[in-house]
């Protein structure tokens, strides 16, 4: 009898996930079958669920599909020829792994330049219809089919699933993004938004040697968490209510020089002109939060020209950033309470409840245990 695996299938905006079963695939040469042990719900999954991010119309996603991209698991089956992870470490059945949920083509101008995070295939690849082989191309399921050449990194035993499940999205992207805007030792950074991305960015900026980290949010427990993760100053939006007040506060906190780097982890277009207004001479702005198309913002371009400021957009990350993320966690796991970012776990069957709870803001990041 064919072995079957369960999946929470996404049927479209406004529809509940449905649990269905599909044949467990045999890996082709170079591929790996992974038994997922934990998946997490990312802000972008919520955007899809709410209908703010329509991948069906945007990139032609075929439904039904398994969505979700943040996950970790164990090697269940190794395809022929696979003996190591992407860093050259020996890999065997039962090993815990994290992996990129996208697979750059390796045959386009961006990949050729060594900028495979910008590969056009990244957007098209992640989720496919669940019907054809290999079925399991998303996180909310029992299995995940890792394509040949898809980046995979072994997880050391001293890191928990709670720590590593969101690593292939939030943490890796933050590490890559802060490198892209060239955050340097001794610089000042403003972090807009203390959700999963912002909290990770706070800890990474600290580790990179930022001199002052200023975190902006309006929710008390997020601000508290930011402090635990290394924020030197917080700006509470309940106290500093307008963009002008917040900009003035950043100026005060930077001896009226402005920040060297500011970064959007909010996902609201208005955060961009506000963040740019907080930059000093030569400042760099990192845009990560706004992933949903069709929501423009207004900016006086002279704000960039004056002082040679720049905006750098980042989606996805390099294969190296995934390894750096795991190494960073190993190095700092006793310093920061990474497992506190995750609030609650749900079995796969309760995925609809998990999305509702996170949508209402009852939990900051929920985990799905298939």
CA 219 from centroid of its chain's CA atoms = 21
Return the number of the residue (122 or 188) whose C-beta is nearest Zn ion.
122
Classify burial at 119, counting beta carbons within 10 Å of its beta carbon; exposed 0-12, middle 13-18, buried 19 or more: buried
Return the number of the residue (122 or 192) whose C-beta is nearest Zn ion.
122
Candidate list 56, 111, 248, 363; residue touching Zn ion; CB under 5 A: 111
Return the number of the residue (33 or 42) whose C-beta is nearest Zn ion.
42
- In angstroms, what is the minimal distance from the CB of 291 to Zn ion? 9
**Is 272 near Zn ion (CB under 5 A)?**
no
CA–CA separation, 221 and 206 (whole Å)? 20
DSSP H stretches of helix in 214-317: 220-228, 243-253, 271-277, 302-305
**Is 169 near Zn ion (CB under 5 A)?**
yes
Residues 6+ apart with CB under 8 A from 20: 6, 7, 9, 64, 130
Determine contact, residues 100/151, Cβ cutoff 8 Å: yes
- In angstroms, what is the minimal distance from the CB of 242 to Zn ion? 30
- In angstroms, what is the minimal distance from the CB of 68 to Zn ion? 9
The crossing angle, in degrees rounded to 10, of helices 319-332 and 170-180 is 110
Return the number of the residue (111 or 270) whose C-beta is nearest Zn ion.
111
Q: Which stretch binds Zn ion (CB under 5 A): 118-126, 216-224, 241-249, 314-322?
A: 118-126
Candidate list 104, 134, 267, 289; residue touching Zn ion; CB under 5 A: 104
DSSP H stretches of helix in 144-191: 161-164, 170-180
Q: Which stretch binds Zn ion (CB under 5 A): 49-57, 113-121, 132-140, 347-355?
A: 113-121
Q: Which residue is nearest to Zn ion (CB)?
A: 42
**Is 41 near Zn ion (CB under 5 A)?**
no
**Is 167 near Zn ion (CB under 5 A)?**
no
DSSP H stretches of helix in the chain: 43-50, 55-59, 109-112, 121-124, 161-164, 170-180, 196-207, 220-228, 243-253, 271-277, 302-305, 319-332, 351-359
Residues constituting the chain: 370
**Is 105 near Zn ion (CB under 5 A)?**
yes
Q: Which stretch binds Zn ion (CB under 5 A): 13-21, 69-77, 288-296, 331-339?
A: 69-77
Return the number of the residue (27 or 166) whose C-beta is nearest Zn ion.
166
Return the number of the residue (108 or 123) whose C-beta is nearest Zn ion.
108
Q: Which of residues 279-298 bind Zn ion (CB under 5 A)?
A: none
Count the site residues for Zn ion by CB under 5 A: 8
Return the number of the residue (111 or 123) whose C-beta is nearest Zn ion.
111
Rg (CA), the chain: 20
**Is 190 near Zn ion (CB under 5 A)?**
no
**Is 126 near Zn ion (CB under 5 A)?**
no
**Is 343 near Zn ion (CB under 5 A)?**
no
**Is 42 near Zn ion (CB under 5 A)?**
yes
Give the 3-state secondary structure of residue 25.
coil
Q: How far apart are the first and last CA of the chain?
A: 22
CA–CA separation, 162 and 289 (whole Å)? 22
Name the residue with tokens 């190794």. 78
Residues 6+ apart with CB under 8 A from 243: 270, 273, 274, 277
The closest alpha carbon to 319, from 189, 173, 121, belongs to 173
Return the number of the residue (169 or 190) whose C-beta is nearest Zn ion.
169
Return the number of the residue (137 or 254) whose C-beta is nearest Zn ion.
137
Candidate list 46, 56, 108, 363; residue touching Zn ion; CB under 5 A: 108
Candidate list 9, 78, 119, 159; residue touching Zn ion; CB under 5 A: 119
Return the number of the residue (120 or 156) whose C-beta is nearest Zn ion.
120
Task: Establish whether the linkage from the previous residue to 112 is cis, with ω within 30° of 0.
Answer: no
Question: Which residues make up the interface to Zn ion (CB under 5 A)?
Answer: 42, 70, 104-105, 108, 111, 119, 169
């Amino acid at each position: 009898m064919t072995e079957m695996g369960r999946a929470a299938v996404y049927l479209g905006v406004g529809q509940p996930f449905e649990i269905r079963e599909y044949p467990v695939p045999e890996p082709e040469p170079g591929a790996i079958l992974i038994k997922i042990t934990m998946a997490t719900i990312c802000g972008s999954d919520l955007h899809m669920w709410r209908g703010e991010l329509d991948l069906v119309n945007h990139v032609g996603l075929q439904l039904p599909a398994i969505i979700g991209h943040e996950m970790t698991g164990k090697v269940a089956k190794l395809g022929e020829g696979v003996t190591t992870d992407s860093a050259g470490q020996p890999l065997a059945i039962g090993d815990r792994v994290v992996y990129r949920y996208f697979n750059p083509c390796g045959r386009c101008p961006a990949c050729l330049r060594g900028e495979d995070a910008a590969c056009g295939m990244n957007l098209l690849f992640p989720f496919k219809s669940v019907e054809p082989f290999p079925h399991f191309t998303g996180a909310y399921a029992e299995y995940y089919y890792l394509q040949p050449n898809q980046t995979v990194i072994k997880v050391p035993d001293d890191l928990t699933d709670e720590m590593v499940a969101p690593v292939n999205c939030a943490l890796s992207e933050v590490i890559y993004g802060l490198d892209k805007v060239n955050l340097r030792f001794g610089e000042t950074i403003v972090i807009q938004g203390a959700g999963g991305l912002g909290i990770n960015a706070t800890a990474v900026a600290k580790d990179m040697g930022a001199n002052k980290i200023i975190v902006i949010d309006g929710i008390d427990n997020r601000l508290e968490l930011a402090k635990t993760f290394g924020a030197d100053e917080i700006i509470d939006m309940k106290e500093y209510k307008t963009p002008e007040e917040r900009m003035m506060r950043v100026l005060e906190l930077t001896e009226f020089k402005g920040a060297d780097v500011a970064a959007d982890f909010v996902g609201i277009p208005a955060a961009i002109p506000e963040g740019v207004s907080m930059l000093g001479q030569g400042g760099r702005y990192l845009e990560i939060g706004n992933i949903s198309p069709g929501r423009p913002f207004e900016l006086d371009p002279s704000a960039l020209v004056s002082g040679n400021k720049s905006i750098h957009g980042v989606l996805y990350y390099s294969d190296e950033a995934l390894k750096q993320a795991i190494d960073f966690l190993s190095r700092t796991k006793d310093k920061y309470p990474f497992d506190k970012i995750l609030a609650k776990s749900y079995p796969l069957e309760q995925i609809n409840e998990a999305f509702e709870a996170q949508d209402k803001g009852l939990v900051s990041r929920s985990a799905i245990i298939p």
